[in-house]
Amino acid sequence: MALCIAIHAANLIIRPAPSGKRNIYGKQKPQLVLLDHGLYKELDFDTRFNYASLWKALVFSDANAIKNTVLS
């Protein structure tokens, strides 16, 4: 499977998490939302989990997690 997403400012928003969860300081947790209407495909659980793990590693600049996610 190949994914092609054009990442730019118009395709990203950060909003309060819809769950209403709060961090230890009482502030509502943010949610990063990727907007790209060029690709629609239903992904199985493992693919969704790995893709989310990769994005989390990218957002936090965690080189080890990026490497582990890509190699898994």
Long-range (24+ apart) CB contacts under 8 A made by 28-34 are 32/59, 34/5, 34/7
Question: What's the pLDDT tens digit per position in 37-52?
Answer: 666 778 899 999 999 9
Whether 56 has a pLDDT exceeding 50, the answer reads yes
Bridge-partner residues for 55, per DSSP?
Answer: none
pLDDT at 12: 83
Bridge-partner residues for 31, per DSSP?
Answer: 15
- Whether the CB-CB separation of 14 and 31 falls below 8 Å is answered with yes
pTM to 2 decimals? 0.48
pLDDT at 49: 93
- Give the amino acid at 72: S
> Would you call 50 exposed, middle or buried from its count of C-beta atoms within 10 A (0-12, 13-18, 19+)?
middle
Indicate the pLDDT class of residue 1, thresholds 50, 70 and 90.
very low
